Structure 1
């Protein structure tokens, strides 16, 4: 079952107009959310990121789009699909409705849709990483700035980069901005470990304002064993790093096993993963 503007319908009944602005222009935003046993994880972070992004996109936010409203609609959708354990991956999509060219119609109605898929586990799992090989994606670059940090439906680089990675037998690619700094992976934020120092690119470099990125930064700031920095990362630093790992709200933490001829371990990533799961249990 799919939730379209609060109505639960089967996937076969969902119809999007060819004049829909999300379809025509990518005039839409989305959140990828993890739901565990009837609870939306990191709800506040997802909600406030979505609201901030809608304001940046100059969307007229409906009065009923409260955090409680989306919490109820997400849970309603997950429960309607009868997943075992109610563990689900949810995509909440918001678009500006139909009509207009680049300039939207003044009376365009904001739509939302919620789609849910089942997940296997309520907690974040440790993933094999030795064969998780990555390289740089250098065909196109991301411009630093606020728009690049939005989770919008404009994902051309992620799509082409994913095809490029598959063609070369890699699991993922690392994305560069126009200053030739590494900003993220195709599907998540990047962290680099060297000794007890951990770096991740700053939002100003153009990386996604990731919800899991925020959680990891919070955990590290309270951990005396590590020094965390939000600082630009050069491709040359990859060869000197002890670990590289990718974060997003669905996978949690995915360690990278190899970049070119450099191989990495995952000791720090596993330590952070344990702390993350402890936080979820206590929460």
Structure 2
């Protein structure tokens, strides 16, 4: 079951037409988040990011789009799919309503909620082999739109195909200044000693929720230093550790980049702190 504008529908119902602006122009946003036993993890952060993104894209925010209303609709969908006692992945998509060409006829929006089961109720560190490479065919343009979680993900799609064709588990995306920005599906953190670095939003990375939470944790951890600054491809060869972060996986250590292999000590420490923070939300 999915939920479309407050109505529960079967997955295969034809409720979206060919004029859908998300399909035609990528005129849409989405949030992907975890639910554990009917509790939405970091929901307030996801909600605030979504509202800010809608304003940036000049979408009309409906009066009923309160945090409580959308949470209720998400939980209804989770329950309809019998996932209220399990771990679930939730995707909330917002798209501008039909009409117009590039210039929309309306800024009113619709919403779609989808859910699927997850194997683990908490973030679990997977330290199996995970090799990555640079994707250099196309670049991220470092501006505010790059910080948003929009449906314009063709670069990520082509990069994922490149990774699959060449036997990599993921790829690193770079901006037009040749700076490391993020992974295909999450933010990047680079560890050297007790310094943990992540690219700043100004370089074009997604304004990730788990990125935000880890920045908070690292800043509070005695003896660790957090830097939001440029990451060059050259630095990857000298790093002790690299890991990927997103709201579904949490933290995913990288094991190999070219001839360099990495440890996962900081990642192991952080995943426990992240789970503790998630339980408090």
Secondary structure in structure 1 of the residue aligned to 2:44: helix
What root-mean-square deviation, in Å, do the aligned CA atoms of Structure 1 and Structure 2 show? Answer: 1.1
What is the deviation of 1:126?
Answer: 1.5
2: distance between equivalents of 1:254 and 1:75?
Answer: 27
CA distance in 1, matches of 2:60, 2:278: 34
**2:11 paired residue number:** 11
1:163-202 matched pairs, under 5 angstroms: 163-202=161-200
Whole-angstrom distance in 2 between the partners of 1:182 and 1:157: 15
3-state SS of 1:240 partner: coil
2:35 maps to which residue?
35
5 Å matches for 1:52-67? 52-67=52-67
Task: State the distance in 1 between where 2:45 and 2:174 align.
Answer: 26
* CA-to-aligned-CA distance 1:13-45 (integer Å, 9 cap, x gap): 142111111110000000001111111111111
Runs of 4+ in 1 over 4 A off after TM superposition: none
Scaled by the length of structure 1, the TM-score of the pair is: 0.97
Q: Of residues 144, 148, 162 in structure 1, which corresponds to 2:142? A: 144
In the alignment, the residues of structure 1 paired with residue 222 and residue 145 of structure 2 have an alpha-carbon distance, to the nearest angstrom, of 34
Unpaired runs of at least 5, structure 1: none
Distance 2:87 2:228 in 1: 32
Aligned to 1:252: 250
The residue aligned with 2:127 is: 128
The answer to whether the 8 Å contact 2:131/2:169 transfers is yes
Q: Deviations over 1:194-251 (max 9, x none)?
A: 0000000000000000011011111111101310010010000000000000000100
For 1:83 and 1:60, locate their aligned partners in 2 and report how far apart those are by CA, in whole Å.
31
**How many angstroms does 1:281 deviate by?**
3.4
CA contact (8 A) 2:160 2:170 kept: yes
Measure, in 2, the Cα distance between the counterparts of 1:247 and 1:114.
23
Q: CA deviation at 1:121?
A: 1.6
Structure 2 gap segments, 5+ residues each: none
Give distance in 2, aligned partners of 1:227 and 1:46: 26
Task: Check the 8 A contact 1:162/1:172 in 2, yes or no.
Answer: yes
User: C-alpha distance in 1, partners of 2:84/2:125?
Assistant: 21
| Matched residues, number | 281
TM-score, with normalisation over the residues of structure 2? Answer: 0.98
Cα distance, 1:86 vs. partner?
A: 2.9
Distance 1:180 1:252 in 2: 26
1:113 aligns with 2:143: no
Is the 1:78–1:86 Cα contact (8 Å) retained in structure 2? no
CA distance in 1, matches of 2:139, 2:280: 40
